Amino acid sequence: MEVTIPQGTFRGARVGDVLTFKGIPYADAPVGALRFAAPEPPPPHEGVRDATAYGPTVSAPPQRSAVIDALLPDPVRPGFDGLNLNIWTPDTAGSRPVLVWIHGGGFVTGAGSTTAFDGAAFARDGVVVVTINYRLAVEGFLLLPDRVANRGLLDQLAALTWIRDNIAAFGGDPGRVTVAGESAGAMSVLTLLAMPRSAGLIRRAISQSGDGHHVHTAEVASIVTRELGVELGLEPTAESLETVPVEALHQATNAVISRLSAGKDPRFAPFTRLVLQPVIDGDTLPQHPVEAARAGAGSEVDLMLGWNAQEYGLFCAPTGLVDTLTDEALHGTVARLGVDAGAVISAYREQLPDADPAELFVAIQSDWFCRVPSMRYAEARHAAGTPAHVYEFAWQPETFGGRLGACHTLEIPFVFDTLADPWGEGLRGRGAPQSLADTVHSTWVRFVTEGDPGWPVYDDGRRVCRIDIDSVTVTDPDGYRRRVWDGRL
């Protein structure tokens, strides 16, 4: 199957009843003078370009732990054309809703070609799926004095612009685009809604285990830039960094991330969140995403957002922290959040009297990192008269002695209906319930298609759909968690 667009002709492949087109450049290769520049349109090509295999991944520093990398491996595909996308479609004729997936990875790792993101099930159900790569780490998110900020977000906007201009040729409707993502991908989604340049590109949005709080001020972002310059022994400008080999830059980036996030130097107290993330620069991102939502930004976009019930179980059970965390260490980790650790821990102990330090760690960190900020974003939307549908993914596997919980990333194969894929199987275990995947996947299809997942919006009643084998809509679930963080987050 061949598709021709102004950029050129691409040859895809048919897999069963689904057509796939992979590795299509949506922007010029980010190398040379374009390495730290805003994305440029892809150059046209002559003849027929093969689009039957995934394209290169955007290079990123190997900052993940070996344990997490083994459970959730990122593909590494060498090459220069890293700003590419992949398409699954039932047919190139017609005009179907489109789901655009932005991968997670803390803004430093990840790839749109991760096998669990295979879009065949969505295509089977009448949705055109696009997964994208974007620049990460220093190339994508370091604030540089001589280049535009938020290059990774601008890559995402370039991909959405390409989709608007070309997806009709692949059977998609450019007026019915849902942009979705998980973790840093979800943070990207909510940040995009605050960016004026996204106007007209997004009809619906889904945020999975992300929020609008993960942004730096320019002042805080400049600390990262300064420290990278110190690590490399040069002036931290794009002009200087262009001379640094990729591997050396990755090593220096890892060193800076470790130093700033270690919690040992009071100068780096702001880095309780991610070290590299979007920046409020007054131009590409004029305003904090939550404040922008409160002011009505993205009001034309239908939104579904949510979290997993035990997000931080991913960083506790598999790493062994579940068996070694002490009360003293718990106090130290909570104090790093810039709050009265004793008061916060006591508030949780009152509600969870039988919880050990590891269970309290998971509850507190999950709420601080994702659950409560997601609620705050939903509340900001409601204040602007623009409601959202909110969910909590609550299914818990039996892996890791039942101590994992509904952890970060666990829902992804249920969303894509890819339980047969080995990615993440070490978390969910073999034999995860296909019936739950059927429910979750069909819910996402319904929202992408209709803008309504099937439960009431989050308003003054704070209604949330708790997704499990038997899903139920609950009112202000675990409201104490929200109240603990009033005035603190």
Q: Which residues are catalytic?
A: 183, 311, 408
Joined tokens for residue 281: 């620069």
- Reported residue count of the chain is 489
Residue 110 to residue 313: CA distance in whole angstroms: 20
* Three-class secondary structure of residue 342 per DSSP: helix
Q: Which amino acid is at 335?
A: A
Joined tokens for residue 131: 């997964």
Q: What are the start-end ranges of the H helices in 246-356?
A: 246-261, 289-294, 321-324, 327-335, 341-351
Beta partners for residue 48, in sequence order: 9
CB 406 within 8 A of CB 427: no
Cα separation values, 245 from 37, 240, 252, Å: 17, 11, 11
* Nearest one of 410, 424, 370 to 207, comparing CA atoms: 370
Residue 159 to residue 85: CA distance in whole angstroms: 8
In degrees, rounded to 5, the angle at the alpha carbon of residue 451 between the alpha carbons of residues 450 and 454 is 85
Backbone φ and ψ for 409, nearest 5 degrees, come out as 80, -10
CB 260 within 8 A of CB 252: no
List % helix, strand, coil for the chain (3-state, nearest 5).
Answer: 40, 15, 45
Q: Which residues of 112-123 are buried (b: 16+ CB within 10 A; e: fewer)?
A: bbbebbbbbbbb
Q: Where are the beta strands (DSSP E) in 12-136?
A: 13-15, 18-25, 48-50, 84-89, 96-102, 128-132
Reported as type and span, the H/E element at residue 174 is: strand 172-182
* Nearest one of 295, 309, 38, 32 to 150, comparing CA atoms: 38
Q: Classify residue 73 by burial, with Cβ atoms within 10 Å: 0-12, 13-18, 19+.
A: middle
Reported as type and span, the H/E element at residue 5 is: strand 2-5
Beta partners for residue 89, in sequence order: 19
Beta partners for residue 128, in sequence order: 98
Joined tokens for residue 23: 């590795």
Place of tokens 């991909």: 159
CB 260 within 8 A of CB 221: no
